[in-house]
Amino acid sequence: MPQNHKVKQGECLSSIAKKYGFNDYRIIYDYGENAAFKQKRPNPNIIFPGDVIVIPDHEVKEVPKPTEHTHNFVIEPHPVKLRLVVKNDEDKPFANMKYDLKVGSATFNGTTDGSGKIEQIIQPDDTSAELVLYPGEGENKNIVGIFKMDLGHLDPVEEASGVQARLNNLGFDCGKVDGIVGPMTEQAISSFQKHYGLPETGHADSATRNKLRELHDWE
């Protein structure tokens, strides 16, 4: 029988799917009884604590096979990817930089592309990551930057906490992501608006939220 699940901070659809034994979050996201949730959260990567999701029953799939043989069945999980673009304080990408990326108990090594992009398959229930950048040339291991991340904690841009998190990630310091729009957050919004040629209201109007979404969010 289907059951309700109330989203907690730090959860994402992939981690919820794994918790309930599904190998693909889309089974839950596309479930008919979640139509209103899907309309409210058009980006399945960004949900909000308190959202209620209906967890469907598991469907039994029958595959006819002869009983005289041994058969192996492999279920391929839908890959969960961590995608990042890393830039410096002048909004220029850390292009072609070596990196160590620690996610959960795993560590990955690689090089950013020309736009500073990193893409890595991770576990659905990973909740934190640490990225260490090094110069891309030679064997120099001097650290250029260290970035610590909470995974699954980004709130929708319609929420004040979602605005604050995106501003912080884009280099416009709001301080603590607490959902309280005080002077520091208003100043960060004004700086963001000025930088991108928007009316400097100090408030997260629709144009500002749309610009934050365009620059920050990935489908």
**Structural domain boundaries enclosing 27:** 3-55
Is 34 among the domain residues? yes
Q: What is the pLDDT of residues 209-219, one digit of tens each?
A: 999 999 998 76
Distances (CA, A) of 105 to 102, 122, 123, 131: 7, 11, 10, 13
Contact by Cβ (8 Å): 28, 169: no
Is 104 among the domain residues? yes
Of the listed ranges 45-54, 74-83, 90-99, 161-170, the least confidently predicted one is: 74-83
When pLDDT is averaged across residues 162-189 and rounded to a whole number, the result is: 95
- CA angle 31/16/55 to nearest 5° reads 35
Q: What is the pLDDT of residues 63-121, one digit of tens each?
A: 787 777 787 766 677 789 999 999 888 889 999 999 999 998 999 999 999 999 999 99
Query: Are 22 and 47 in the same domain?
Result: yes
Q: What is the mean pLDDT of the chain?
A: 91
* C-alpha gyration radius of the chain: 21
Is the pLDDT at 163 greater than 90? The verdict is yes
Does the pTM exceed 0.85? no
Number of domains observed in the structure of the chain: 3
